[in-house]
Amino acid sequence: MIHSMTGFGNKEAKIDALGKVSVELRSTNHKFLETVIHLPEGLLFLEEKIKKEVESKIKRGRITCVVNVIGTPTREVFINEELLKKYMSALKKIKNQCRIKSEMGLDALINLPGVLALGDSGVPKERVWSRLSPLVSQAVAGLAAMRLKEGRALYVYLKSRAAALKVSVGAIKKKFQRVIKERLAGIAVEEERASFLKNSDITEELERISYHLNNFLQRLATGGAVGKELDFIAQEMQREANTMGAKSCAGDISAKVVKVKSEIEKLREQLQNVE
């Protein structure tokens, strides 16, 4: 079964030493697989682990993962006294050398690099991931389930449109055979007949587009991450339809070709959302 590239998944739970944690995943169309992780301060070390978990289940699309922590336990505040003394000593020396009278206040001192810091939660990183991993896994599973559900709807649509295209191509083929027979019957000179066929014969294009349609349906039935391949096949069908339109020798055939081109374009629009 094919999958859509749009979807949503989320999960939240209370985790010891962290508080209430929510994991939210959204996916949109993208040519390749791109994963963007947004983590709160203190959990940035988990970015690669979360990315691996997401990319083990998702093959294509732009995935945005947001992890929020609500009610995080109060963290200890640390002042690097040794570094602060060095700052004050250096500042005092400069003050005396330059005869500066103004004093540096406490608010300025604690904002110097490295003076003020927040301690971590004291929970080992491995333990944090062991608690958070199930939430990420369940959120990814929810996202994958939604993408699969939308993929089923896409499959039904694409299959029906491809089947309709086969009918339209078959109608063009029958009409062309009648028209070409009538036109050739009215041309007596062999050179003129050859010139007419060279400029108007779309038999080869009809065979190619029929082949591409069969290939399209086979790959669609195979499922998996076939979005790029299906779009390439549809592009080849469009190329053949354009050639048929340029070589058409009858107005009603041209009208049918325009309809086929329109149907292929609709296919390609939907294929942009297939993984």
Q: Give residue-wise pLDDT tens across range 145-161.
A: 999 999 999 999 999 99
To the nearest whole percent, how much of the chain has pLDDT over 70?
93
pTM: 0.74
Residue 83 or residue 188, greater confidence: 83
- pLDDT for residue 204: 92
Query: Is residue 96 assigned to a domain?
Result: yes
Reduced 3-state DSSP string for 135-187: HHHHHHHHHHHHHHHHHHHHHHHHHHHHHHHHHHHHHHHHHHHHHHHHHHHCC
Residue 1 forms part of a structural domain? no
**Residues 48 and 174 both lie in one domain:** no
User: Are residues 142 and 33 both part of a single domain?
Assistant: yes
Q: Per the domain annotation, does 170 fall within a domain?
A: yes
Residue 263 lies in a domain: yes
Are 222 and 238 within one domain? Answer: yes
CA distance 181 to 175: 10
Confidence band of 264 (pLDDT split at 50, 70, 90): very high
Contact between residue 209 and residue 240 where contact means Cβ atoms under 8 Å apart: yes
- Report the alpha-carbon distance of residue 170 to residue 150 in Å, rounded: 31
What stretches of the chain show up as alpha helix (H) in DSSP?
Answer: 47-55, 81-98, 106-109, 125-185, 190-200, 203-222, 227-247, 251-271
Read off the tokens for 9.
């998944």
Report residue 177 as tokens: 């055979």
Weakest mean pLDDT among 48-52, 93-97, 114-118, 177-181: 114-118
Q: In the beta sheet, which residues pair with residue 61?
A: 33
User: Do residues 111 and 193 both lie within one domain?
Assistant: no
Question: Residue 120's pLDDT is what?
Answer: 55
In a domain? residue 241: yes
Q: Note whether 219 and 96 are same-domain residues.
A: no
How distant, in Å, are the alpha carbons of 18, 21, 65, 95, 170 from that of 40?
11, 11, 12, 40, 59
Return the pLDDT at 78.
65
Residue 120: alpha-carbon gap to chain centroid: 35
More confident residue, 101 or 89: 89
In angstroms, the CA 169 to CA 137 distance is: 46
pLDDT of residue 166: 93
Asked if residue 261 belongs to a domain, the reply is yes
Percent of the chain whose predicted confidence (pLDDT) is above 90: 58
Residue scoring higher pLDDT (204 or 98)? 204
Which CATH number does the domain housing residue 170 bear? 1.20.140
Mean pLDDT lowest for which of 117-126, 162-171, 241-250? 117-126
Per-residue pLDDT tens digits for 46-93: 999 999 999 999 999 999 999 998 865 555 566 778 888 888 888 888
**Is residue 162 over pLDDT 80?**
yes
Task: Please report whether residue 264 resides in a domain.
Answer: yes
Q: Is the domain of 20 the same as that of 143? A: yes
pLDDT at 258: 94
Regarding whether 194 and 93 lie in a shared domain, the answer is no
Kindly state whether residue 2 falls inside one of the protein's structural domains. Answer: no
CATH number at residue 58: 3.30.230
Residue 84 and residue 51 share a domain: no
pLDDT at position 119 over 60: no
Q: What is the number of structural domains in the chain? A: 3
pLDDT band at 117 (very low <50, low <70, confident <90, very high): low
* Same domain assignment for residues 15 and 143: yes
Can you tell me the distance from the alpha carbon of 234 to that of 265, in angstroms, rounded to the nearest whole number? 8
In tens, the pLDDT along 203-229 reads: 999 999 999 999 999 999 999 999 999
Question: Phi and psi of 115, rounded to 5°?
Answer: -75, -50
168: containing domain: 150-271
Same domain? 106 vs 132: no
Are both 183 and 232 inside the same structural domain? yes
30-33: Cβ within 8 A, 24+ apart: 30/5, 30/60, 30/61, 30/62, 31/228, 32/60, 33/58, 33/59, 33/60, 33/61, 33/63
244: left (phi over 0), alpha (psi -120 to 50) or beta: alpha
My answer on whether 140 and 192 are in the same domain is: no
Residue 122 is predicted with a pLDDT of 54
Integer Cα distance of 76 and 245 in angstroms: 74
